[in-house]
Every structure is written in structure tokens, then in C-alpha cells.
């Protein structure tokens, strides 16, 4: 075994290059055989992670360097997965703060760094992507120092070492114009700057569970750093929660350690090492896994509460079962329960009949990722409009979640964005000139008004703007907010849409269906330009007779249908609408499909008021 263990975490904003940097660190430290085929972005192991280029689950990896083992923990860079970040930091002895040399300090950097500094970590600042033509490394370094000061860093933390790098090109240097050979200077700096934590190996075994994976062979697998003692295979252990109450008891069936990105079984885990243990069925994240003699839990960061929820039920449309394989409420319930066990940022609840399930999460991206994964697994679902979770303060006042929004855009679009944020009850907090006719605007706005806003923002800035959102706090309820202004165009019958009918209806509004798309009564096939729903027939074909017609027929030219993400479609829903999700399609619909039933309910509601 190696003599010293150093656990470091990498803090970075979305797309600042941390996963690529880890790839090259592992290649250059000899973690792979010379002839081994290695994927790009190794740490992004999930299909959606590779597609979207974001890290969703925190994952450890390990490299050996100069008789030391460095355990690297990759943290998610998106605000919705912040539940992962907070706990991962408790496993680390040091941190690499990775900052893009052109973009500079961004909101997620600020959010995670604040938590790291509070835990007493002393970060190494890595200014990455130095091969960019628009790099401004010196200005970014000044911004970083200002950030440390604004986050109340102590003198030791302010005296941070700086290294310049290009993760993609695989080099690091202590000077901007220094030699650009390999990443060895960065690894040497980690060994020199990060002191291995001192642990008592003579005490009974205890470790804090910080990550949770469900394994089809081993069952519940808990990841954590051993805080004291040694863990031996087959020893009797228990799990205690933050209040010291026993949650579970069992036998340590397996212990794994990370070698590169692979899990390797070991017989004994030592204090200071990051290990994966199996054998407990009920233990969860933030529980202490320990010897039977230990009674005091290890202190952990409580998980931040969710801010948004959706209701999921079986697909009840007339087209149910035509595209998916997993249709029953039992299958949906089992899948959601597994997700709630694996992802501590999500909470699960159900109604008495166990046929409607409420899933709450930290933001729309987290919920969209879950729905996309279920869709790919063959599920069919009906999803309600997202609902923001309110709170009450000590005086009984209603509070709602607010977010901090940072936007970088060309100066010409700033007035449009300020106007659109005002409509969503957003307040402009700061406006900076970042040079080259670019502006950085910072807003505080209620989460309610920001659902599906990213696509609207990209339209307003013609795809050139960059938007970043992060949960800020619960603040005073801002009052009612206007919903969708456009009425829905609703199909009157079930069948297949006809090009002739769609062509004649295009003048009535924006259509969501094209020729030969299946439709049914109650399905939303388009949006009207003004308020008020309208029932239309998209199946009306041209009447053909044997009489000759004067003149020529018009060419039927259909406007292409706009492709919308799940988050965008959810944000469009009114309270009486729902989204049908199947492996092949996403269809907007009315919650109650029968038009007569809808009228009856509207009439009863108006009489009640």
C-alpha cells in the first residue's frame, strides 16, 4: 500500500473543463496500460452526461503519484445537483478551483467555493483553457482574489497557489509563459500543498456515508471516507443517523477502493481512504457507518430542501401503450422509489391509492433529467405542471424560492433581457461592462417565473447569450404572476392529422403537429395568438368530387414544427393541462380530455366563486 493518501475535490463551473483535465491527469500518471482503449470524458459515465457535457453524479477516481495515492472526486457543476457537492466536500483534504481563462469566475464556482472555504479547505487555483485566443488570465486571477475576499476567506486561504493549464492539451505551468510539457507540475503541487489528514487507526471503525449507488449485484453501495480505525470484510457494523439513533445493522459484505475509475475489492480499508462498502439495506447518505461500539455520529451537512415538484401518473391518453413498454403504476412507483434512494436531492411521496406520485427536486433540470432517463427506459407517463414549494416564516408570511441569475450577453440585447426579467418579477442587482461590447447582468428572481426561461433567453439573444442560475434563498412571496397568455388549440377527434387541414389552420396560431401525426380529442395541437381555448379539427381533408374546378389548387406548404425540450413543454402548461411523455413523443394535453366534462367543471368553479 502507498504511504500517504490525499483526497482532493475539483470545483468548477459547468463546461470549464474539469472532466477533460481529469482524463489527462489519469493518462499521464500511468493509470492505464499503453495499449488500453480509453474513452473521452471518462468521469462522465452516464449516457446523458456524455450527451449534454455536464456532470450529474459525483464520482471518485484515484491516481498514484510519487508514493502517494491521490483520490480525486469529480463534483457536478450545475446548481440542481448541489446536494451532491455539499457532501462530497466533507471527504476532501484539499480542492482544485478550476476557472476558465476567458469566462472567469461564474456563479457555480462561487457557490461551491463558499462551501469549501467554510469547511476550511485551502484551494489551489487552476486557470484553465490558456490556449484560448481570448484568454485574460491576469484579469481572471484578480477576479478570483476578489471572490475569495468577498467570501470571507482567511489569510491562509487567501495565500493560494496558482497554476496555469490547458486540460485538453494536457500541460500545466507555474507561469503564464512557462514550459508547456505535461501535467506533472500540477500533480507535484497537489502533493506539496495538500497535507494528508491525520486519522487515528487505533479507534473503532467509523465513516460518514456521502454518496449512494444502487448496485444490481451488491445492493446498496455507500461511498465515504474512513474517519477512524480500519474496515475489515465480514465485520459486524451498524448505521446511525445524525441524532445518534440506530438505523440499520449488518455485516460488511464487500469493501472496494478506486484504482483509476474502476472499483477494486480489498480486505482492509484504512483511515483516510475513500471506499465503497456494501452490506446495509437501510443506511442512507449522511448516516455514520461504524463499528458496534461507536455511539457518536460524525457531523454532516444536512441536505438542502427541494424547491420544485411534479406529479406523475400513468399515461391515460387514448394512445397509451402504443409506444412504451412500461405502463403500469407499479412499474412507475418502483422506478421512482429507486431514484429517490439513489438521488438524495429528490424526495418521493404517493397518494393513498398508490397511483399518483409526487417527486420534488432542486430545480427543473434535475426533474427533466429524471423524466428523460425514464423515457429512454421505455416508460409512458402523464406529468402535471411543475409546482414551486412555498414555505412560511415565523410570522406566518408566505415565502418562495428565489434564484440568482447571471447573464453574459452582447450590449444590444441587454434592454430586451431586463424587460423580460421585469415581467417575471426579477430585480436587477448588478450590471458590469466586461469589454468588447459585452455586459454581465445579475438578477434575483422567483423560481416560479423562470421555468423554461432558458429557451426564451436564447431566442431573445439570438443564441449568443450565456445564462447561469443558482438557488439564492427563500424570500417574500411576490404575488400572482401571469401565466401563458395564449389559448390552446385543442383537437376535437382522434385519428391522424391531415396536411390540408393544418395548412388552413396555420393562420389561427402556431401548430405543434404536422401531417400524419396521431392526435386525439383533448390533445393540444397548437397555441392561439390570443387568450381563450379553441377546439379545432386537424383531420378535415379536402372533399374530392368528379367535378372539374376552375383554376389550380394551392400548394400545401406547412410551417416546420418547433422542437421543444421537456422543460420547455412543462413551462407552457396551465393548471388544467398535463404533458404525456412516451419513448417516442411528448404531447401537450388537457388533464380532462372530454370537452363536456371540462365545461361542467368550469361552470361549477365559476358558480362556487
pLDDT for residue 201: 81
Residue 144's Cα: distance from chain center in Å?
Answer: 25
Confidence of residue 382 (pLDDT cuts 50, 70, 90): very high
Query: How far, in Å, CA of 266 to CA of 254, rounded?
Result: 8
pLDDT at 212 over 50: yes
> CA 194 to CA 190: how far, in whole Å?
6
Q: Strands 381-383, 577-581: parallel, antiparallel or unpaired by DSSP? A: antiparallel
The grid coordinates listed for 73 are: 472526486
Residue 597 CA to residue 590 CA, distance in Å, equals 11
Tell me the DSSP string of 55-104. Answer: --S-EEEEEEETTEEEEEEE---SGGGHHHHHHHGGG-SEEEEEEETTTB
Q: Residue 10's pLDDT band (boundaries 50, 70, 90)?
A: confident
Percent of the chain scoring above 90 in pLDDT: 13
**pLDDT tens-place string over residues 512-557:** 999 899 999 999 999 988 888 889 999 888 777 676 665 555 677 8
105-109, 307-311, 429-433, 605-609: least confidently modelled range? 105-109
pLDDT score of 218? 75
CB-CB neighbours of 493 under 10 Å: 12
Contact residues for 298 (Cβ-Cβ < 8 A; gap 6+): 206, 207, 208, 227, 288
Helices (H), ranges, 210-350: 329-342
Q: How far apart are CA 497 and CA 598, in angstroms?
A: 23
Contact 383, 312 (CB under 8 A): yes
Query: Which grid coordinates belong to 288?
Result: 455514520
Question: pTM, whole model, 2 decimals?
Answer: 0.73
pLDDT value at residue 30: 64
**Across 245-386, where does the E strand assignment appear?**
246-251, 254-259, 262-266, 268-270, 274-278, 288-291, 308-314, 347-350, 356-361, 381-383
Least confident of 137-141, 259-263, 333-337: 259-263
Rounded distance between C-alpha atoms, residue 164 and residue 183, angstroms: 10
- For residue 33, pLDDT over 60 is answered with no
- Rounded to the nearest integer, the mean pLDDT of the chain is 82
Report pLDDT for 41.
43
Q: Give pLDDT, residue 521.
A: 93
Q: Taking the CA of residue 181 as centre, how many other CA atoms within 13 Å lie in the half-sphere pointing to its CB? A: 5
Q: Considering only CA atoms, which of 70, 62, 69, 20 is closest in space to residue 44?
A: 20
SS3 content of the chain, % helix, strand, coil (to 5): 25, 35, 40
**Does the pLDDT value for residue 379 go beyond 90?**
yes
Amino acid at each position: 500500500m502507498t504511504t500517504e493518501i490525499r483526497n482532493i475535490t475539483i470545483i468548477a463551473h459547468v463546461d470549464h473543463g474539469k472532466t477533460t483535465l481529469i482524463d489527462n491527469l489519469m493518462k499521464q500518471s500511468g493509470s492505464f496500460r499503453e495499449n488500453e482503449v480509453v474513452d473521452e470524458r471518462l468521469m462522465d459515465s452516464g449516457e446523458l452526461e456524455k450527451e449534454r457535457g455536464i456532470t450529474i453524479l459525483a464520482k471518485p477516481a484515484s491516481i498514484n503519484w510519487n508514493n502517494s495515492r491521490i483520490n480525486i472526486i469529480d463534483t457536478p457543476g450545475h446548481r440542481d445537483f448541489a446536494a451532491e457537492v455539499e457532501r462530497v466536500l466533507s471527504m476532501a483534504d484539499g480542492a482544485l478551483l478550476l476557472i476558465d481563462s476567458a469566462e472567469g469566475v461564474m456563479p457555480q464556482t462561487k457557490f461551491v467555493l463558499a462551501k469549501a472555504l467554510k469547511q476550511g479547505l485551502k484551494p489551489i487555483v487552476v486557470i484553465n483553457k490558456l490556449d484560448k485566443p481570448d484568454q485574460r488570465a491576469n484579469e481572471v486571477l484578480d477576479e478570483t482574489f476578489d471572490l475569495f475576499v468577498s467570501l470571507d476567506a482567511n489569510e491562509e486561504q487567501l495565500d493560494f497557489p496558482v497554476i496555469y493549464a490547458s486540460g485538453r492539451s494536457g500541460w500545466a505551468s507555474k507561469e503564464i509563459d512557462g514550459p508547456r510539457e505535461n501535467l506533472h507540475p500540477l500533480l507535484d503541487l497537489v502533493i506539496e500543498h495538500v497535507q494528508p489528514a491525520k486519522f487515528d487507526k487505533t479507534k473503532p471503525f467509523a465513516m460518514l456515508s456521502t454518496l449512494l449507488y444502487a448496485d444490481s449485484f451488491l445492493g446498496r453501495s455507500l461511498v465515504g471516507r474512513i474517519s477512524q480505525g480500519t474496515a475489515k470484510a465480514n465485520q459486524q457494523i451498524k448505521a446511525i443517523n445524525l441524532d445518534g439513533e440506530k438505523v440499520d445493522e449488518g455485516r460488511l459484505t464487500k469493501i472496494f477502493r478506486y484504482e483509476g475509475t474502476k472499483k477494486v475489492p480489498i480486505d482492509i480499508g484504512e483511515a483516510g481512504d475513500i471506499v465503497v462498502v456494501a452490506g446495509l439495506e437501510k443506511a442512507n447518505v449522511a448516516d455514520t457507518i461504524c463499528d458496534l461500539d461507536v455511539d457518536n455520529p460524525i457531523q454532516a451537512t444536512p441536505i438542502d430542501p427541494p424547491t420544485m415538484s411534479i406529479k406523475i401518473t400513468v399515461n391515460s391518453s387514448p394512445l397509451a401503450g402504443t409506444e412504451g413498454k412500461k405502463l403500469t403504476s407499479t412499474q412507475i412507483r418502483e422506478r421512482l422509489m429507486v431514484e429517490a434512494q439513489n438521488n438524495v436531492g429528490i424526495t418521493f411521496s404517493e397518494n393513498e391509492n398508490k397511483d399518483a406520485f409526487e417527486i420534488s427536486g432542486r430545480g427543473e433540470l434535475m426533474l427533466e433529467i429524471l423524466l428523460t432517463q425514464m423515457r429512454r427506459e421505455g416508460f409512458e407517463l402523464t406529468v402535471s405542471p411543475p409546482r414551486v414549494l412555498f414555505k412560511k416564516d415565523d410570522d406566518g408570511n408566505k415565502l418562495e424560492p428565489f434564484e440568482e441569475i447571471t447573464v453574459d450577453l452582447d450590449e444590444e440585447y441587454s434592454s430586451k433581457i431586463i424587460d423580460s426579467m421585469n415581467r417575471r418579477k426579477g430585480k436587477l442587482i448588478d450590471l458590469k461592462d466586461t469589454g468588447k461590447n459585452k455586459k454581465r447582468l445579475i438578477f434575483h428572481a422567483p423560481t416560479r417565473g423562470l421555468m423554461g426561461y432558458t429557451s426564451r433567453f436564447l431566442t431573445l439573444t439570438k443564441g449568443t447569450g450565456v445564462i447561469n442560475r443558482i438557488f439564492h434563498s427563500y424570500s417574500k412571496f411576490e404575488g400572482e404572476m401571469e401565466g401563458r397568455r395564449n389559448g390552446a388549440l385543442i383537437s376535437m377527434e382522434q385519428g391522424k392529422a391531415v396536411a390540408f387541414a393544418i395548412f388552413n389552420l396555420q393562420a389561427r396560431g402556431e401548430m405543434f403537429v404536422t401531417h400524419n401525426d396521431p392526435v386525439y380529442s383533448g390533445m393540444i395541437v397548437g397555441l392561439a395568438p390570443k387568450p381563450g381555448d379553441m377546439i379545432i379539427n386537424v383531420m378535415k381533408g379536402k372533399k374530392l368530387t368528379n367535378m372539374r374546378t376552375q383554376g389550380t389548387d394551392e400548394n400545401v406548404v406547412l410551417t416546420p414544427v418547433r422542437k421543444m425540450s421537456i422543460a420547455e413543454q412543462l413551462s407552457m402548461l396551465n393548471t388544467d393541462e398535463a404533458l404525456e411523455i412516451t419513448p417516442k413523443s411528448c404531447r401537450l394535453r388537457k388533464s380532462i380530455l372530454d370537452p363536456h366534462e371540462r365545461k361542467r367543471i368550469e361552470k361549477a368553479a365559476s358558480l362556487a366563486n
